């Protein structure tokens, strides 16, 4: 008779674990921004986490009380600290969320497979020079002198502590290619952003070797009225990523082009061997 086979001894092939995407919103946004993309990617088997930075989304903090970037970005830093030693994630930062994932790359480079900058501020050391400010800060002066609603948490004679684009201008500036229902939802959920904290985003004391080990991809938004394409190009030229993709979208592709955006995120993951 033939030799009996012990089925318990036959090892099943190890399941390939799909990458874990961590999505980080920009100023005034929140985890809610990503609802379409999260749904698409989770339905395709990917693990997705969406972060609320301090004073954003469901976080109860008042933007006018947040005066340092470290304080603002603490939820992401806490999340990265909670990862196990062998767990690596793909960070995706939108708009000012680029500053958040850059700080994470400085501090937790060994836990990051890839950093994806989506219409994002991509400055290796943050706002250290006038040129950094020129290419990394949105210039909305083309829409008039009264674009922002400002908050003065330190007093009327001090610099503003928070800002939000006025509601009547939000669709025209931020969501001009997005479905009407999404821009309506956003108008109900956006919150003032802690601009004083963002202005303090500097990473000069960080581990520069660590951040350079993290692969980067940039996704350009070709009809962006917030971080204009020429600003995106300037940041790409200054600190070149390994890949650059282009989306025919406004500043909010998670609303205006969610299927294409999800596809680009999966493509970016594949570029570093994750699929």
Active site residues: 95, 224, 251
3-state DSSP: the chain helix, strand, coil percent, rounded to 5? 40, 15, 45
E strand or H helix at 163: strand 162-165
Work out whether strand 162-165 and strand 148-151 pair parallel, antiparallel, or are unpaired. antiparallel
DSSP the chain: -PPP--GGGSPPPPPPPPPEEEEE--TT--GGGGHHHHHHHHHTT-EEEEE--TTSTT----GGG--SHHHHTHHHHHHHHHS-TT--EEEEEETTHHHHHHHHHHHHGGGEEEEEEES----TTBS-SHHHHHHHS---GGG-S--EEEE-TT-TTS--SEEEE-HHHHHHHH-TTS-HHHHHHHHHH---B-HHHHHT-B-TTS-HHHHHTS-EEEEEETT-SSS-HHHHHHHHHHS--SEEEEES--S-HHHHSHHHHHHHHHHHHHHTT--
């Amino acid at each position: 008779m033939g030799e009996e086979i012990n089925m318990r001894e036959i090892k099943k092939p190890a399941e390939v674990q799909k990458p874990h995407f961590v999505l980080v919103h920009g100023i005034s946004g929140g985890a809610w921004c990503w609802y379409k993309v999260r749904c698409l990617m989770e339905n395709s088997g990917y693990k997705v986490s969406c972060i609320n930075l301090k004073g954003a989304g469901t976080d109860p903090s008042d933007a006018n009380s947040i005066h340092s970037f470290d304080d603002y970005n603490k939820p992401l830093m806490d999340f990265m600290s909670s990862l196990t030693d062998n767990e690596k994630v793909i960070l995706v930062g939108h708009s000012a969320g680029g500053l958040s994932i850059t700080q994470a790359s400085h501090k937790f480079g060994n836990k990051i497979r890839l950093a994806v900058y989506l219409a994002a501020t991509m400055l290796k050391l943050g706002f250290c020079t006038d040129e950094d400010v020129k290419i990394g800060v949105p210039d909305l002066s083309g829409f008039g002198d009264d674009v922002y609603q400002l908050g003065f948490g330190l007093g009327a004679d001090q610099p503003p502590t928070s800002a939000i684009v006025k509601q009547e201008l939000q669709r025209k500036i931020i969501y001009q290619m997005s479905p009407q229902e999404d821009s309506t939802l956003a108008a109900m959920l956006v919150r003032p952003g802690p601009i004083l904290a963002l202005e303090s985003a500097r990473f000069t004391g960080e581990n520069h070797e660590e951040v350079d080990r993290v692969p980067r991809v940039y996704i350009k938004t070709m009809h962006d009225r917030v971080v204009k394409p020429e600003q995106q190009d300037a940041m790409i030229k200054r600190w070149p990523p390994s890949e650059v993709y282009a989306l025919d979208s406004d500043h909010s592709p998670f609303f205006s082009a969610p299927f294409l955006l999800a596809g680009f995120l999966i493509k970016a993951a594949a570029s570093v061997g994750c699929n």
